[in-house]
Amino acid sequence: MLPRSQWIQNLPVLEERLGYRFASLERLEEATIHKSFTNETKKGGGRRDNERLEFLGDTILGLVVAENLMRLWPDSPEGVLSKLKGRIVSEPSLALVARNLGLGSYLLIGRGEEMTQGREKNSILSDALEAVIAAIYQDGGLEAARSFILREFREIFESASRGETAADYKTLLQEYCQRELDTLPQYAIVGQSGPDHQKVFDVAVRIRERVWGEGQGHSKKEAEQKAAKSALERIAQTTTDLPPPSGRSKRSGG
């Protein structure tokens, strides 16, 4: 479990990743305390967990998303806007944004959640992101929260407008390799840096012994997702460099 002293020292680093400087760092402290920690440490030594902020952040996120959708699609009916909003504020979408920020590395969680990889759980990550949004709102007002949301959710907005959900690039790459090449991508950690509580992983993905993508993240899963995304982007541009399986045409299916 991350020591409380180290957690406090890490918060200014999280500020940098969020792109927002808090006037009162106590708000960010509360946003990053999971209930599992307070439950296991006699109510967290007087600290409050992030559930109340999560409640507020959910409302703020919904407001900003709805407002932006109406601006982007002024002629779309309510039904269409509701579906778009649902995709953007879904748990997988929020968890994806949280992973991109490396938010899981900065959470104060209980030993039980630590042992079950709580920092990687979609539910914990999405709730923490909503709490962070609320903390920014309380500290800097609606405009600060709006700026953060529109910046960090930009790709989610674009994906939703194309009818896509939050992208799971590893699954997409695996499906492509199985369907077109009769093989599976292989991921390998090629480097890591930083202290144990805040490591940065460098991952490469190989397809038929060739590196097709690389990614970096504060967890292996985050780095693998970025490596898979990089590989998919390269494949989309240079598919002729990937030979089909022996005796098969890539498009023939057999």
Q: CA 169, 174, 176: angle at the middle one, nearest 5?
A: 95
Q: Do 125 and 230 reside in the same domain of the chain?
A: no
Between strands 210-217 and 200-207, the pairing is: antiparallel
Q: Do 177 and 151 reside in the same domain of the chain?
A: no
Catalytic residue list contains 139: no
Q: Do 60 and 138 reside in the same domain of the chain?
A: yes
List pLDDT tens digits, range 179-216. Answer: 888 899 999 999 998 876 667 899 999 998 899 999 99
Give residue 233's pLDDT.
87
Asked whether residue 254 is assigned to any structural domain, the reply reads no
Show which of 101, 130, 161 is a domain's final residue: 161
Rounded to whole angstroms, how far apart are CA atoms 199 and 40? Answer: 25
Structural domain boundaries, residue 229: 169-239
Catalytic residue among 58, 139, 222, 224: 58
Q: Beta partners for 215?
A: 203
Burial of 140 (0-12, 13-18, 19+ CB in 10 A): middle
Q: Do 71 and 196 reside in the same domain of the chain?
A: no
Tokens, residue 78: 């309510």
Do 166 and 159 contact (CB within 8 A), yes or no?
A: yes
Query: Which pTM value belongs to this model?
Result: 0.66
Show which of 98, 130, 161 is a domain's final residue: 161
Show which of 161, 192, 214 is a domain's final residue: 161
Give residue 250's pLDDT.
39
Q: Do 75 and 127 reside in the same domain of the chain?
A: yes
> Structural domain tally of the chain?
2
List the CATH number of the domain containing 128: 1.10.1520.10
Q: Do 28 and 111 reside in the same domain of the chain?
A: yes
Give residue 222's pLDDT.
80
Asked whether residue 244 is assigned to any structural domain, the reply reads no
Q: Do 54 and 106 reside in the same domain of the chain?
A: yes
Q: Do 175 and 137 reside in the same domain of the chain?
A: no
Catalytic residue among 30, 130, 152, 224: 130
Catalytic residue list contains 130: yes
pLDDT below 50 — which residues of the chain?
44, 244-254
List the CATH number of the domain containing 213: 3.30.160.20
List pLDDT tens digits, range 129-164. Answer: 999 999 999 999 999 999 999 999 988 888 777 665
